[in-house]
A and B are shown apart, each in its own frame.
Chain A
Amino acid sequence: MSRVEAISADEWEKIDQVIAKYRGRHGSLIPVLKEGQDICGYLPKEVQRRIAAGLHLSPSQVYGVVSFYAFFTTVPRGKHIIRVCLGTACYVKGSQQILERLEQDLGLKVGGITKDRKYSLEAVRCLGCCSLAPAIVVDDDTHALVEPAEAVRIVRSYE
């Protein structure tokens, strides 16, 4: 990873607004973290600390939740997020090979981000479109019945 980009003043302000919106409500940590991640793209330590202080929780409680759920990430994500489905139906139809080919082509490992920060590659457990296996999702678009070579072409079409 190149460097962790600082959170801008504007983003801090939005985070504080989210905290204020949920403060005092039961069980609001997960929604706050979700909205926080939507604002910054990820949840670095500083953001987790701010949320902990804002919701009167200990930083360890917040980190405990962040590290527990697959949805949260503490490293920055690329401009385009590629998710390769490794659910059962996709797996028996060869999605592991798609993943390996993409790793090779993009020069990264699962969970990583390309040097130019354009792509990050993630493996997910079942997107629920088993009928279209093997499936990959780039940003919000689901691509069905993908061959390894085609997967590379699809991903590269996202500039």
Chain B
Amino acid sequence: MQTMTSEQLQEIKKRTTSDLSLHEGGIRAKINLHMGTCGIAAGAKKLQALILRNMEEKGIRDIRMIHSGCAGLCSREPMVTIESPGLPPVKYCDLNEEKIQEIFDRHVVNGEIVAAYALAVEEHPAEVTTREKPVLPDNVSRLNEIPFFKHQVLWALRNRGLIDAENIDEAIANDAYFGLAKVLSSMTPEQVIEEVKTSGLRGRGGAGFPTGSKWEEGRRYSSFPKYVICNGDEGDPGAFMDRSVLESDPHAVLEGMIICGFAVGAHQGYIYVRAEYPLAIQRLNVAIEKARSYGLLGKNILGSGFDFDIGIYPGAGAFVCGESTALMYSLEGKRGMPRIKPPRSTEAGLWGQPTVLNNVETFANVPAILRNGGKWFASIGTKGSKGTKVFALAGTVKNVGLVEVPMGTMLRTIVYDIGGGVSGKRKFKAIQIGGPSGACLPTSLLDTEIDFDSLDAAGAMMGSGGLVVMNDSTCMVDTARFFTDFSVDESCGKCVPCRVGMKLMLNILNRIAAGKGAMEDIGLLERLGRHIKESSHCGLGKSAPNPVLSTIRYFREEYEAHIQEKRCPALVCTDLIAFRVNADKCKMCGLCKKACPTEAITWEKKTPAVINPEKCIRCRSCIQACTFWAIE
């Protein structure tokens, strides 16, 4: 292992930047394949094989192919970005093998943009200075004009889809480890903590605890060894920000952890990652190994005398391990059951020693704060929440993907401008924020600002940042039941309110969904929910009733329809559906017949469809197929 100095870091940056530049590197084209989990599932590996085959067959060697992480717009994967001399970088989307072949022949070989498949062109800040400004074609949009990208501010995701995640030089060329170099060469731990406090950074894992204060507390205790833990146990269904950050920019997280270690006086860090994220684990492993070989991790980092090392610990599949004390028990090889605080983890955490635990996104924000100063970070955001927040936007929305917006952005901007509104012919009904600990918010609350405190006031929670858009075919009682079922499953069972109370709530919801509920049940759910929130030990129990309480608060009429009219307005709860075609509404299109797996539907042209109840298995395929709400 060598010892690297800050000067050498600068040299690597300079060298890599010029290597990467088409002009100086003598490269015909740079093909950037976006290979996050989403891209790979959408078929990016096939495209990779095809490009390699083409290069071999045509004897082309002067192409640089890199594998970066997700570019953010997951619903348009697979995507590639191609740069060739004289042209701006072009992002192509919705690719398949035929399209990539055409792009290879026309763009890579002949230097001509294939406008038909292009999503947008970007302006390249680094290259413009070295040669004439490229002429942007008229028939392709600019990346910063596309609404999905226009409203985003990329800080934590600054390197997303830009750099080869397994190449440390590229990370360094994009300023990785320069924050660390500054810290080790010119700052005291107290100054680092002060800078983080100035930035106003709050924990991105959900609860929003001020990061600087946590570090300060961790520093105060003088019991050694101390530990730094990165929480990558992203268990919220509907959230995938941490996965994407780890897959596309692992060095930012490592750098954040080392800086934290320096600030609190720890020499060992652990990253706890969900076992469901194999690609993230692989890329982290590569990143750690490379950082060690560069002397950026291990003994005597950057010649400063400071030692810090990081280990990876894959989780074993338990949602509750996202709770900090449970996570530490899990790291110790025990059942992941939270314990009562105090003492806080900063006093007695892993193995009973002072431990500072932060979320992946929190650590990813740290290097830039140290590079640019806390004031820079605090320059955007709201009074109580500074900087940006990454959200995983999913559900029935047109543009699905990863978005990063300044704190204080309206939910409406995310759903309609960035997300492009609800997909298909359905209408917006609710937005679920914060997963099983969060809430379903209706249209009237779309003007809520993204901010820890205003979400709290709406009965929701920032959570880790899952945003699931739901349309009018989603039943709110069923949604509440879904999350309650989740919490019942994932409750560790240690304390009674959560273990028994949530089960009782689930029973009541099941009763309502089956059409056997009574009006008193609504009040009972509200009372139970309040008690569970007040008396549970950990964050899971304290927030588990939120989905039920919020749906009652904002969609009470749906509960009442289930109970009083024995009707599920969204046609989801199968016990309350007649499975009968309303001849007045039927447009006689025959889509339901095609969808039926048991041939229970008879339909002729120009006659309404009829469902045979004996053959019907109540699978709802016909309801999903029908666009006219003709099935009751």
| Chain A positions near chain B (C-beta within 8 angstroms) | 26-30, 33-34, 64-65, 68-72, 86-89, 91-94, 97, 100-101, 124-133, 135, 142-144, 148-149
Complex-state Cα separation, A114 to B490, whole angstroms: 26
Interface pair B400/A131, CB less than 8 Å apart: yes
Q: Which of A128, A143, A144 contacts B243 (CB 8 A)?
A: A128
CB distance from B432 to the nearest CB of A (A): 6
A-B contacts besides A69-B316, A125-B489, A131-B401, 20 pairs, CB < 8 Å: A26-B333, A28-B333, A33-B316, A65-B333, A68-B335, A70-B317, A88-B468, A88-B482, A89-B237, A89-B394, A92-B396, A92-B468, A94-B624, A126-B239, A126-B276, A127-B276, A129-B41, A133-B400, A135-B41, A144-B41
Residues from chain A with Cβ under 8 Å of B237 in the complex: 86-89, 91, 125-126
Interface pair A131/B38, CB less than 8 Å apart: yes
Residues from chain A with Cβ under 8 Å of B236 in the complex: 126
Interface pair B41/A142, CB less than 8 Å apart: yes
Residues from chain A with Cβ under 8 Å of B396 in the complex: 92-93
| Chain B positions near chain A (C-beta within 8 angstroms) | 37-38, 40-42, 74-75, 77, 234-240, 243, 274-277, 314-319, 330-336, 351, 392, 394-396, 400-401, 432, 435, 466, 468, 470, 474, 479, 482-483, 486, 489-490, 492, 597, 619-621, 624
Given the interface contacts A128-B240, A132-B74, does A88 sit within 8 Å of B41 by beta carbon?
no
Interface pair A131/B75, CB less than 8 Å apart: yes
Given the interface contacts A70-B316, A130-B392, A132-B74, does A27 sit within 8 Å of B276 by beta carbon?
no
CB distance from B414 to the nearest CB of A (A): 15
Complex-state Cα separation, A94 to B335, whole angstroms: 33
Complex-state Cα separation, A41 to B251, whole angstroms: 34
Interface pair A129/B38, CB less than 8 Å apart: yes
CB distance from A144 to the nearest CB of B (A): 5
Interface pair B317/A91, CB less than 8 Å apart: no
Interface pair A131/B470, CB less than 8 Å apart: no
A-B contact pairs, 22 of them (CB 8 A): A27-B331, A30-B330, A70-B316, A70-B318, A71-B315, A88-B432, A91-B482, A92-B479, A97-B621, A124-B276, A126-B235, A126-B239, A127-B276, A128-B240, A128-B277, A129-B41, A130-B239, A130-B392, A132-B74, A135-B41, A144-B42, A148-B621
Residues from chain A with Cβ under 8 Å of B240 in the complex: 126, 128-131
Interface pair A71/B332, CB less than 8 Å apart: no
Interface pair B317/A100, CB less than 8 Å apart: no
Residue of A nearest to B490 (CB): A125
Interface pair B332/A26, CB less than 8 Å apart: yes
CB distance from B475 to the nearest CB of A (A): 10
For A30, A64, A88, A101, which residue has the most chain B Cβ atoms within 10 angstroms? A88
Complex-state Cα separation, A143 to B38, whole angstroms: 10
How many residue pairs between the two chains, A and B, have CB atoms under 8 Å in the bound complex? 134
Complex-state Cα separation, A100 to B619, whole angstroms: 8
Residues from chain B with Cβ under 8 Å of A144 in the complex: 41-42
Residues from chain B with Cβ under 8 Å of A124 in the complex: 276
Q: Which of B330, B332, B400, B619 contacts A101 (CB 8 A)?
A: B619
Complex-state Cα separation, A143 to B41, whole angstroms: 6
Complex-state Cα separation, A89 to B237, whole angstroms: 7
CB distance from B600 to the nearest CB of A (A): 14
Interface pair B77/A131, CB less than 8 Å apart: yes
Residues from chain B with Cβ under 8 Å of A92 in the complex: 395-396, 468, 470, 474, 479
Complex-state Cα separation, A68 to B400, whole angstroms: 33
Complex-state Cα separation, A94 to B474, whole angstroms: 10
Given the interface contacts A26-B351, A28-B333, does A69 sit within 8 Å of B38 by beta carbon?
no
Complex-state Cα separation, A134 to B480, whole angstroms: 19
Complex-state Cα separation, A72 to B333, whole angstroms: 14
Q: Which of B238, B331, B490, B492 contacts A87 (CB 8 A)?
A: B238
Q: Which of B238, B275, B319, B489 contacts A130 (CB 8 A)?
A: B238
Interface pair A93/B395, CB less than 8 Å apart: yes
Complex-state Cα separation, A149 to B621, whole angstroms: 10
Residues from chain B with Cβ under 8 Å of A70 in the complex: 316-318
Residues from chain B with Cβ under 8 Å of A33 in the complex: 316
Q: Which of A29, A86, A133 contacts B394 (CB 8 A)?
A: A133
Interface pair A68/B482, CB less than 8 Å apart: no
Residues from chain B with Cβ under 8 Å of A71 in the complex: 275, 315-317
The 10 closest A-B pairs by CB, nearest first: A131-B74, A87-B237, A70-B317, A130-B394, A88-B238, A69-B316, A126-B237, A27-B333, A29-B333, A89-B394
Interface pair A27/B37, CB less than 8 Å apart: no
Residues from chain A with Cβ under 8 Å of B40 in the complex: 142
CB distance from A82 to the nearest CB of B (A): 15
Q: Which of A65, A128, A129, A132 contacts B334 (CB 8 A)?
A: A65
Interface pair A89/B395, CB less than 8 Å apart: yes
CB distance from B286 to the nearest CB of A (A): 19
Given the interface contacts A29-B333, A70-B318, does A129 sit within 8 Å of B37 by beta carbon?
yes
Complex-state Cα separation, A127 to B239, whole angstroms: 9
Residues from chain B with Cβ under 8 Å of A131 in the complex: 38, 74-75, 77, 240, 394, 400-401
Residues from chain B with Cβ under 8 Å of A93 in the complex: 395-396
Interface pair A149/B401, CB less than 8 Å apart: no
Complex-state Cα separation, A134 to B486, whole angstroms: 18
Q: Which of B468, B492, B619, B624 contacts A89 (CB 8 A)?
A: B468
Interface pair B332/A27, CB less than 8 Å apart: yes
Residue of B nearest to A126 (CB): B237
Residue of B nearest to A68 (CB): B335
Residues from chain B with Cβ under 8 Å of A142 in the complex: 37, 40-41
Q: Which of B37, B42, B330, B332 contacts A128 (CB 8 A)?
A: B37
CB distance from A44 to the nearest CB of B (A): 18
Interface pair A97/B41, CB less than 8 Å apart: no
Complex-state Cα separation, A92 to B169, whole angstroms: 42
CB distance from A90 to the nearest CB of B (A): 8
Residue of A nearest to B402 (CB): A131
